[in-house]
Amino acid sequence: MPLNQALSIIHCDLDAFFASVEQRDDPSLRGLPVIIGGSPEARGVVSTCSYEARAFGVRSAMPTAQAYRLCPQGIFLPVNMKKYIEASGQVFEIMAAYSPLIEPLSIDEAFLDITGCNRLFGSAEKIGQSIKERVCHELGLNISVGISCNKFLAKLATELGKPNGLKIITEEEAAGVLAPLPIANLWGVGPKTRQAFERQGILTIGDLQQVNIENLEKQMGSSIRDYWELAHGIDNRRVEPEHEAKSIGRETTFPRDVEDDLFLDSILLTFAEIIGRRLRKAELTAQTVTLKIRYPDFKTLTRSKTISAPSDADMTIYQTGADLFAELRRQNTSRVRLIGLSVGRLQSRSKVCQDSLFQTRVNKPVDEVLDSIKDRFGERIITRAETLLSDNDE
């Protein structure tokens, strides 16, 4: 198989995303240690930080007070989730120009399956370079790109190429690239699994490459074969686009727990606008709306509701999600760590009879006008006023 066909998976990861958006929008911050997560005097954690701040030892998930001790000259900024969500949507639109097979991993990270796309856009390397150039020139952001024959190796390539890199790992190179890396670099190896490997004398991926897998399975169980295959560069997982999962949605984990219901409600409206726009672009409708909330103790609750008729209307999606949110808040008023909104039971708009779309027509002109303005002038040019609450310090 020709090499450019084997290199069918691209992994994209925006560099220091939140901090980079702030530096882009305020040039006076460029070159300075920017720390996103609010004031160091308040209880909170670092959401992300610029590479200038990382040079002082500041890291994501670190208490902001500790970050201040390490970097007192740092510029501490609150999270502006609305701004980051909008920038993320713009990046995903660029990626979608090269492949319909996109698997989002988070607000700033995704896989693309570019099988067959080389006929239109050239080699995998050309596609990766084009994505980087467009994100830089059109959005003013840096994005790291990894390219390989499977998801594990593509993501590893991105990690090895950061920041702002483009790295390729071929199937032939995989074993050699992997061998010297710590065993914790394997996908899914957490502290407990790492310790289990270390008890077997396996400290590096190269150590795992050399073991007899049958003997190791007797010691550690049959599931260990998955790690052994990864150590040899084998990963058969497919890129799973949202439409294959039968849903479209967005979620976000907050840098610190949130108790402001108005802020959370504004996030739901922002998500509903994004989801509705994606439905309309894909000429799809949805008939179920699902809300997801995670609390500080990591307890996660989901609630779903079927709407009366298939819809792609922002306000229908939002109102259904808001109703579910109100229901959950009556049961539990704890601070919120994560909130997500998604729609399911997707079907082609052309397959939905005209009568069933009647209930969404009242908002359809507004949605279409907003889409048209955003298509012409950019995502951030216009929004519903209620979403501006998501620009606050939370």
Q: Where are the domains of the chain?
A: 1-171+233-241, 180-222, 247-391
- Superfamily of chain region 1-171+233-241: Reverse transcriptase/Diguanylate cyclase domain (3.30.70.270)
> Please, are residues 232 and 221 in contact by the beta-carbon 8 Å criterion?
no
- d(CA 112, CA 96) in angstroms, rounded, equals 9
CB atoms within 10 A of CB 296: 12
DSSP 360: G
159 has pLDDT over 60: yes
Half-sphere exposure of 146 (CA within 13 A, CB side): 26
5 has pLDDT over 70: no
> Please, are residues 242 and 104 in contact by the beta-carbon 8 Å criterion?
yes
Specify the pLDDT at position 254: 81
Average pLDDT score over the chain: 86
What is the third-level CATH fold of 247-391? Dna Ligase; domain 1 (3.30.1490)
Whole-model pTM above 0.95?
Answer: no
Strand partners, 363: none
22, 109, 251, 273: which one is catalytic? 109
Span 74-84, average pLDDT: 89
131 has pLDDT over 60: yes
Q: Letter for the amino acid at 45?
A: V
Active site residue 379: no
Specify the pLDDT at position 85: 84
- Least confident among 26-35, 238-247, 260-269: 238-247
Span 360-375, average pLDDT: 51
Give the tens place of pLDDT for each residue, 304-345. Answer: 999 988 999 999 999 999 999 999 999 898 999 999 999 999
377 has pLDDT over 90: no
Strand partners, 220: none
What is the DSSP pairing of strand 9-14 with strand 102-106? unpaired
173 has pLDDT over 90: yes
- Superfamily of chain region 180-222: 5' to 3' exonuclease, C-terminal subdomain (1.10.150.20)
